[in-house]
Amino acid sequence: MAAQGAADIVFLNAQLRTMDVRQPRAQAIAVSGGRIMAIGTDAQILSMVGKQTRVIDAEGRTVLPGFNESHLHLFVGAGELDHLQLLGVSGPDALRDAVQSYAARHPDLPVIVGQGCDYAVLDHPLTRHDLDQILAERPLCLLAADHHTAWANTVALRQADILQGRALGPGNEIVMGADGLATGELREFQAKAPVLALAGTHRIMAGLATGKDPDPYPDAAGFTEDCEIMAAGLAQCARLGLTSLTNMDGNAYTLRILDALRAQGRLTARVKVPFHYTTGSTLADLDIASDMARNFCDDWLSSGFVKLFMDGVVDSGTALMREDYPDRPGWRGAPLWSEDAFTEIATEADRRGLQIAVHAIGDGAVNRVLNGYEAARAANGARDARHRIEHIELIDRADIPRMKALGVTASIQPIHAPGATDFPLQPTMNKIGRARWGDAYLQRSLADAGIPLAFASDWPVADLNPLRGIQSALQRPIYEGTDDERLGLDDILAAYTTGGAYATHSESRKGKLRAGYFADLVVLNGDLEAASPAEIGAMGVDMTLCGGRIVWEQERAFQSRRAGERQSS
């Protein structure tokens, strides 16, 4: 414990970007009792050093507020850390080698699960027959990077009892062939859930599949196992400088696991978890959301919001469009909720004081969500709800002023933009159609309209690393015939810090480096301002503090010392 009036930790000789308009830049920062004590010059902060203060020479490194990850699937991503990673794998030979090598290293897995499979991994749509040629005797399931489509081999479909198909809810499809059997393509969550259940992931997936507790509920050993999985996900976040996480699938079980980790001193980030309202939910289930809001409402673990899906994704043709898909005349995608059903849900959730966040990728989905928010406001009256729309990959520009008027936050994932970093231009851009490229993956247009932006990754759909997200935002392509939608570095950093704090109604205590705010901060291993976009994406994190506690430190990154050991200057 530092002496009274002295700091616990100080950073000197740093490049502080505070994200605070009152004092945008500084050289040093002092932390005490989990809060920021002061920022200023080296000389000013040295006056706050006591005998037990840890003094860290940042050697010109960039220090930022801890990153706010505004949209991720923490439990799901943690559970997939050890899965086969297929991002960037292309062609039959590379796919076969990756799958067979992984399967050989994991002989006891009930299902071989691959992540990040490209829709165009082969020169034709993947089928079970393609996968049978790679691995026929063991169940195999490959997930698209967006997690909205999966492909399974025949033995997996047979063991999951869906080779002959199955009736599913709206927007979900087991694609059937002319022979009356499943082709292997599984669209949306209900379709792929039976195969993933074979892999024993039902507890991890419950927050995504039902929004309710896993059934069957785990015994003590199972709960402990799940705690370790979640801890691995939190550790991954800490290594990347993430100090606040907004989960986008959830149930009370997720919060209980996080609460158990908190009791063990292993909660390394502030986490907000929703009640996931699925197509199997009823309005009575919003009692669960209200209970979660009451039971978890502090600055470390909180709920208070409801997550829904309105549509799917562009690449599989399940995003809800206002015009026909260019390659499928007469098809605009299928909504998961009718206008009336969503309006009823939104109105009741809003009446309860719950925030609402809706996955809406197509312009038809965005429009339908805004209609529901507008109806909820008309029924309940205006309040500072900060309802959200997640992704917004295509929007009718006439809906942008409506977003502003309704106070809606745009939750955007820069790394999703085709051609920015990890995801190819095709087939996505052709599925949208050249005539609509100017309305796709907007950033600057939304910001210029005064719409609050919160940037994120959608992990495990995309790379969790916020520095790669910053790189993606900086080098978002200017699609042919469209305006430049790139934002400057300051605006991008704001969307990863202050924007995320605003989206969670916590901008008065986090998202900035300001005296009195939470001591949530990240120290990069270089000078952000002097780096190119690619160099930013390649940077690492040398230290992460959350609540004044060091939750990640790169070994031998700093030559720090206790002040009592410091040479007089």
pLDDT tens track for 205-226: 899 989 999 999 999 999 999 9
φ and ψ at 323, to 5 degrees?
-130, 165
Any domain includes 277 = yes
Q: Are both 131 and 181 inside the same structural domain? A: yes
Mean pLDDT of all residues in 531-557? 96
What is the reported pLDDT for 170? 84
Q: Domain end: 474, 503, 532, which one?
A: 503
Closest by CA to 138, choosing from 168, 118, 163, 158, is 158
What is the reported pLDDT for 558? 86
Q: Are both 368 and 401 inside the same structural domain? A: yes
Structure tokens at 99: 């799958």
d(CA 385, CA 304): 11
pLDDT confidence band for 3 (50 / 70 / 90) = very low
Any domain includes 411 = yes
pLDDT tens track for 366-418: 999 999 999 999 999 999 999 999 999 999 999 999 999 999 999 999 999 99
Any domain includes 230 = yes
The answer to whether residue 302 scores a pLDDT higher than 50 is: yes
Please work out, in degrees rounded to the nearest 5, the angle formed at the alpha carbon of residue 188 by the alpha carbons of 472 and 231: 60
Mean pLDDT of all residues in 102-131? 95
Tell me if 269 sits within 8 A of 551, measured CB to CB: yes
What is the reported pLDDT for 565? 56
Residues in the chain, overall count: 569
Find the helix packing angle between 252-263 and 286-295, rounded to 10°: 20
Q: What value does the mean pLDDT of the chain take?
A: 95
The answer to whether residue 277 scores a pLDDT higher than 60 is: yes
For the beta carbon of residue 448, count every other beta carbon within 10 angstroms: 12
pLDDT confidence band for 340 (50 / 70 / 90) = very high
The answer to whether residue 4 scores a pLDDT higher than 70 is: no
Closest by CA to 466, choosing from 189, 233, 245, 232, is 245
Q: How many domains does the chain have?
A: 3
Tell me if 146 sits within 8 A of 313, measured CB to CB: yes
Supply the DSSP string of 319-339, one letter for each residue.
S--SS-BTTBTT-----SS-H
* Eight-class DSSP state of 399: G
317 strand-pairing partners: none
Mean pLDDT of all residues in 244-263? 98
Start-to-end CA span in the chain (Å)? 24
What is the reported pLDDT for 262? 98
Any domain includes 77 = no
Q: Are both 375 and 227 inside the same structural domain? A: yes
Mean pLDDT of all residues in 341-354? 98
Give the Å distances, CA to CA, from 60 to 14, 22, 28.
5, 22, 10
The answer to whether residue 178 scores a pLDDT higher than 50 is: yes
Structure tokens at 105: 């290293």
Any domain includes 88 = no
Q: Domain end: 199, 234, 261, which one?
A: 199
- What is the side-by-side strand order in the sheet with 561-562? 35-40, 28-32, 9-12, 54-57, 561-562
Strands 541-546 and 521-524: antiparallel
Give the Å distances, CA to CA, from 356 to 295, 306, 407, 562.
18, 5, 12, 47
Q: Which domain holds residue 121?
A: 111-199
Strand extents, DSSP E, 397-520: 409-412, 453-455
Any domain includes 215 = no
What is the reported pLDDT for 564? 54
Q: Are both 532 and 496 inside the same structural domain? A: no
pLDDT confidence band for 568 (50 / 70 / 90) = very low
Mean pLDDT of all residues in 35-64? 97
* DSSP tally for the chain: helices H, then strands E: 19, 27
d(CA 411, CA 455): 6
d(CA 400, CA 367): 10
Residues 6 or more apart whose Cβ sits within 8 Å of residue 108 = none
Q: Are both 261 and 357 inside the same structural domain? A: yes
pLDDT confidence band for 482 (50 / 70 / 90) = very high
In this prediction the pTM is 0.92
d(CA 366, CA 369): 5
d(CA 540, CA 554): 9
d(CA 521, CA 529): 17
d(CA 236, CA 240): 7
Tell me if 343 sits within 8 A of 372, measured CB to CB: yes
Q: Are both 384 and 525 inside the same structural domain? A: no
Q: Enumerate the H helices of 199-219 as residue ranges.
A: 202-209
CATH code for the domain of 169: 3.10.310.70
Least confident of 150-154, 325-329, 565-569: 565-569
pLDDT confidence band for 314 (50 / 70 / 90) = very high
The answer to whether residue 2 scores a pLDDT higher than 70 is: no
Mean pLDDT of all residues in 537-545? 98
* Eight-class DSSP state of 298: S
